[in-house]
Structure 1
Amino acid sequence: MAKVKFHSGEAVPLEMHKVRIVQKLSLAPIERRLEAIREAGNNTFLLKNRDIFLDMLTDSGVNAMSDKQQAAMMEADDSYAGSETFTKLENKIRDIFQMEYFLPVHQGRAAENIISRVFVTPGSIVPMNYHFTTSKAHIVLNGGSVEEIIIDEGLQVTSQCPFKGDMDVGKLQTLISTHGAAKIAYVRIETGTNLIGGQPHSLANLREVSRVCRKNGILLVFDASLLADNLHFIKDREAECRGMSVRDITKAIAGLTDIIYFSARKLGCARGGGICTNSRDAFMKMRELVTLYEGFLTYGGMSIREIEALTVGLEETMDEDMISQGPQFIEYMVNDLARQGVPVITPAGGLGCHLDAMAFLPHVPQTEYPAGALASALYLVSGVRGMERGSISEQRNEDGSEVYSNMELLRLAVPRRVFTLSQLKYAVDRIVWLYQNRDLIGGLKFVEEPSMLRFFFGKLEATSGWQAKLVAKFRKDFGDSL
């Protein structure tokens, strides 16, 4: 991905690929979108794809494959055991991460399940820079608890801090001194922290965290699912790394960690995932669970065609043009929105553009889920599906009281090599119009609430008739336009 300056002076991200396969989109009228979001219980996860124009829910499993990945899928060796396809992936893991042992799984949360079952015990603690929904759920299910010790800047919506995903090393040392190293199941670092705006960590911070862990004999577990974006930011923002290749930065990261796991639905633009380590002891503890929960050790719940695609995708992740496209598209979108006064997370991170719902809708209290309401409203006026990353994504306390998120965000994911710049400009235009008419948006309340991972399945309804008013205003301003 390159950034070029136009004659007008505008700097524009330039795609370093061409599109060779297309998929037809549809944009339903706003009246149908109102029916669709109500049928889905104001939960964008429950919308049908036929009712969506731009799907910015996630980058998980929806990144575009390259021509080389598609070609590799035709070479797959479908042997149940001893597959040459798996051997290719295993060798690629050793080459990129310099780790001897590799366990395949069907996706990232499967890796979290296995790691938690092996290393988390009742009463144990897992310090981390910030939690992800499924990682926290698996830790809690196995009797552990999570301690988030991200740096203070990580929870500031607008900031100039280049690495808001860094862990507070002083807090880590205090935590170990207070509870003792034996009570720490492992320390988890999430690259490209998902729930606070895709914010990266630095290599220097990881080095310090690793030093503390090794001094105290504590495992350092690294969630590499969003590694591609974080590699771009380390090379772009960390002065000491600008002369390093992407491959060398990756090896430096791997050398500081004990276990790396990832979702290939994000890293590698395929499906599946894996766990890597140089510890034979850790490998042997996890190996039996892979066979029990995922499948045999040479496929781990993945199709062999996906394994071939992942092998190529991991190699392509070492290409600066590949890893820079997402961050540069996101930066363009964030800067355009900020220029027009729309509250967004800054600096621009990876994964997607994140709208600050509490600043966007200051009149909607957290008790009425502003991020969820904003997701519903944006879909209504644009056909763009985003993801709520706020209090709906949290889980109630055991006594039934609500847990309010540190941030109320609407995430607009930008899958790699999927959208065009004109499509992002359309999304920006509708967001700006919505911000100008934000007073029309009201809150949501649960009418069907699962006890766990409610953001996937829960249903909500509007707390007033605000959606019909928004449709009426849209029709007044846009006429017959979709």
Structure 2
Amino acid sequence: MDLPYTEPYKYKMVESIKRSTMEQRKRWIQNVHYNLFSLTSDQVFIDLLTDSGTGAMSDAQWSAMFTGDESYAGSRSFHALEKTIQNLTGFQYVLPTHQGRAAENVLFSVLVKEGDIIPGNAHFDTTKGHIEFRKAKAIDCTIDEAYDTRLYHPFKGNLDLKKLKIIFDTTPKEKIPFVVVTITCNSLGGQPVSMQNIRAVSSLCKKYGIPVLFDAARFAENAYFIKTREEEFKNITIKEIAKEFFSYGMGMTMSSKKDGLVNMGGFIALNDPKIYKEASVFNIMFEGYITYGGMNGRDMAALAVGLDEATEFDYLESRIKQVEFLGQTLDDFGVPVQKPFGGHAIFIDANKFVPTIPIEQYRAQALAIELYIVGGIRGVEIGTVLADRDPFTRKNRYPELELVRLAIPRRTYSQNHMLYVATVLKNIYDSRKEAKSGYTIIEEAPIMRHFTAKFKKI
């Protein structure tokens, strides 16, 4: 008899989570105008809002924190982190930031100008926000297969070369500062990009003289999928795979709160000394000095260890198998999810789950709210609310997919927690025909509205 898979770690510490009643949750979510971000953590039983900074650190990371050097300039912890990043990525110039969106803010202050076009694979909200804030335009060039949640494609994060070429042929080169390749592609279900596609994108970009920039928050998970789904790489280590795909880019931004296995941090890594020098000015303005950039020395020490741990196969296999367990259980229950399952989250297809709710009434948001009310589970809408309004017409943008993301914190929840989540969703799915109406927005910010928008039940 085959032995069941088990995690390659054991628990040393636990944290209590609070139970609540459905009546309490109905009152709590109404009091915050149905915005899941506005709930307190004590009002949430299982928190799948994000995998960003919500994981558990290892004993080695906690030990490293005690050696953190808090010097303002020239910190030993920075130089240890710098060396780790250089060895993993091949990029020589490193600027620490307090998180990924800060890295985008610093680098885009150098690279993005009004009227620019930035192609990519389904830019995430902060990436698109920083582009549009600078009056530039993000254009999605993801393959069409990514938008069919029932279709199996091993690399739904891939960019469509034909779409890219059309943009290159119809846009002045000076208006395309870079192509952003997001690994894995969060907005489409944590879907990976193949090495074959990265090579092809790099080759096309070189032909047109346009650099490639990686949004690399989940680069280790992407490397895992390359290893397990591309025959060429089955005997190659995760670290070697990462080193290769980074070699095809001019640089990267990183939210270290994901595959850095830390609770706060980020960085920019580059090979161009001119861009590094220009970005250093903005790093000092927005973040701090260039050898700490908004991070404590102890956090940089923990990140150096975390990057090494996150690029080991055993850890990644455990991580992704837990996500797969939730996805497969939901699929067995008949709940419509994005397939294949992503690396960091399971994405519920709200268009198939609750098609009875009008699209203009934010059906994915309605489903996310119901999930909280019924089970105390906090997910997040990845749909019309997140897509925001067109910056020129101010009309809602309706994406092809309306998703509810269940992001799994790293090394945090057990399989029993995953089974609980799946069972709650099954119960909701079995009664879905009763869902006829959703919500309307009564207050919203002019950009990235989903964090603070207020809703009213229709």
Find the counterpart in structure 2 of residue 298 from structure 1.
291
**Equivalences for residues 86-125 of structure 1 within 5 A:** 86-125=78-117
**50, 57, 67: which one pairs with 1:58?**
50
Q: Is the 8 A contact 2:183 2:216 kept in 1?
A: yes
Q: Is the 8 A contact 2:185 2:191 kept in 1?
A: yes
Q: Which whole-Å CA distance do the structure 1 matches of 2:311 and 2:370 have between them? A: 38
Offset of residue 40 of structure 1: 2.0
**411, 418, 436: which one pairs with 2:430?**
436
Structure 1 unaligned blocks of 5 or more: 7-11, 464-482
Does residue 31 of structure 1 match 2:23?
A: yes
Q: Which whole-Å CA distance do the structure 1 matches of 2:214 and 2:446 have between them? A: 28
Q: Which whole-Å CA distance do the structure 1 matches of 2:365 and 2:101 have between them? A: 24
Any idea what the Cα deviations from partners look like across 1:142-191, whole Å, max 9, x if unmatched?
12111111111111111110000000112212211111322211100000
**327, 330, 349: which one pairs with 2:342?**
349
Offset of residue 5 of structure 1: 4.3
Give 4+ residue runs of structure 1 displaced > 6 Å after superposition: none
Does residue 408 of structure 1 match 2:426?
A: no
Find the counterpart in structure 2 of residue 310 from structure 1.
303
* Amino acid aligned to 1:404: Y
Q: Secondary structure at the match of 1:349?
A: coil
Offset of residue 213 of structure 1: 1.4
Q: Which whole-Å CA distance do the structure 2 matches of 1:76 and 1:325 have between them? A: 29
* Amino acid aligned to 1:319: E
Q: Which whole-Å CA distance do the structure 2 matches of 1:345 and 1:254 have between them? A: 27
Offset of residue 399 of structure 1: 3.0
Does residue 215 of structure 1 match 2:192?
A: no
Does residue 364 of structure 1 match 2:357?
A: yes
Q: Which whole-Å CA distance do the structure 2 matches of 1:40 and 1:321 have between them? A: 41
Q: Which whole-Å CA distance do the structure 2 matches of 1:63 and 1:54 have between them? A: 13
Any idea what the Cα deviations from partners look like across 1:226-275, whole Å, max 9, x if unmatched?
11211111111111111111111011011111011100111211121001
Q: Which whole-Å CA distance do the structure 2 matches of 1:366 and 1:350 have between them? A: 28
Structure 2 unaligned blocks of 5 or more: none
Does residue 246 of structure 1 match 2:238?
A: yes
Q: Is the 8 A contact 2:254 2:268 kept in 1?
A: yes
Q: Which whole-Å CA distance do the structure 1 matches of 2:272 and 2:251 have between them? A: 8
Offset of residue 288 of structure 1: 0.7
Q: Is the 8 A contact 1:325 1:416 kept in 2?
A: no
Q: Give the superposed CA RMSD.
A: 1.2
Find the counterpart in structure 1 of residue 327 from structure 2.
334
Find the counterpart in structure 2 of residue 472 from structure 1.
none
Find the counterpart in structure 2 of residue 285 from structure 1.
278
Q: Which whole-Å CA distance do the structure 2 matches of 1:87 and 1:42 have between them? A: 45
Offset of residue 13 of structure 1: 4.3
Any idea what the Cα deviations from partners look like across 1:269-324, whole Å, max 9, x if unmatched?
11210011111111112111101110001100011111011000011122111122
Offset of residue 360 of structure 1: 0.5
TM-score, structure 2 normalization: 0.97
Q: Secondary structure at the match of 1:337?
A: helix
Find the counterpart in structure 2 of residue 479 from structure 1.
none
Does residue 21 of structure 1 match 2:6?
A: no
Find the counterpart in structure 2 of residue 396 from structure 1.
389
Q: Is the 8 A contact 2:220 2:238 kept in 1?
A: no
Find the counterpart in structure 2 of residue 192 from structure 1.
184
Find the counterpart in structure 2 of residue 478 from structure 1.
none
Q: Which whole-Å CA distance do the structure 2 matches of 1:318 and 1:176 have between them? A: 34
Find the counterpart in structure 2 of residue 147 from structure 1.
139
Find the counterpart in structure 1 of residue 66 from structure 2.
74
Find the counterpart in structure 1 of residue 447 from structure 2.
452
Q: Is the 8 A contact 1:25 1:53 kept in 2?
A: yes
Q: Which whole-Å CA distance do the structure 2 matches of 1:14 and 1:169 have between them? A: 40
Find the counterpart in structure 1 of residue 151 from structure 2.
159
Q: Which whole-Å CA distance do the structure 2 matches of 1:159 and 1:331 have between them? A: 16
Q: Which whole-Å CA distance do the structure 1 matches of 2:154 and 2:211 have between them? A: 27
* Amino acid aligned to 2:57: M
* Amino acid aligned to 2:227: K
Offset of residue 96 of structure 1: 0.8
Offset of residue 440 of structure 1: 2.8
Q: Secondary structure at the match of 2:66?
A: helix
**Identical-residue share of aligned pairs (%):** 36
Q: Is the 8 A contact 2:443 2:454 kept in 1?
A: yes
**Equivalences for residues 166-185 of structure 1 within 5 A:** 166-185=158-177
Q: Secondary structure at the match of 1:75?
A: coil
Q: Which whole-Å CA distance do the structure 1 matches of 2:456 and 2:257 have between them? A: 31
Any idea what the Cα deviations from partners look like across 1:52-103, whole Å, max 9, x if unmatched?
1000000001011011000000001111111111110011111111111101
Any idea what the Cα deviations from partners look like across 1:184-207, whole Å, max 9, x if unmatched?
111000001111111110011001
Q: Which whole-Å CA distance do the structure 1 matches of 2:384 and 2:6 have between them? A: 36
Q: Is the 8 A contact 2:261 2:310 kept in 1?
A: no
Q: Secondary structure at the match of 2:451?
A: helix
**216, 222, 229: which one pairs with 2:221?**
229
Offset of residue 329 of structure 1: 1.1
Q: Is the 8 A contact 1:128 1:188 kept in 2?
A: yes
TM-score, structure 1 normalization: 0.92
Q: Is the 8 A contact 1:222 1:257 kept in 2?
A: yes
Offset of residue 137 of structure 1: 0.9
Offset of residue 217 of structure 1: 1.6
* Amino acid aligned to 1:329: Q
Q: Which whole-Å CA distance do the structure 2 matches of 1:171 and 1:281 have between them? A: 30
* Amino acid aligned to 1:20: K
Q: Which whole-Å CA distance do the structure 2 matches of 1:406 and 1:425 have between them? A: 29
* Amino acid aligned to 2:426: V
* Amino acid aligned to 1:133: D
Offset of residue 30 of structure 1: 0.8
Q: Is the 8 A contact 1:229 1:324 kept in 2?
A: no
Q: Which whole-Å CA distance do the structure 2 matches of 1:325 and 1:367 have between them? A: 39
Offset of residue 116 of structure 1: 1.4
- How many residues are matched? 455
**246, 258, 268: which one pairs with 1:275?**
268
Any idea what the Cα deviations from partners look like across 1:354-391, whole Å, max 9, x if unmatched?
11011100100110101100000000110110011110
**105, 117, 124: which one pairs with 1:132?**
124
Q: Which whole-Å CA distance do the structure 1 matches of 2:447 and 2:90 have between them? A: 37
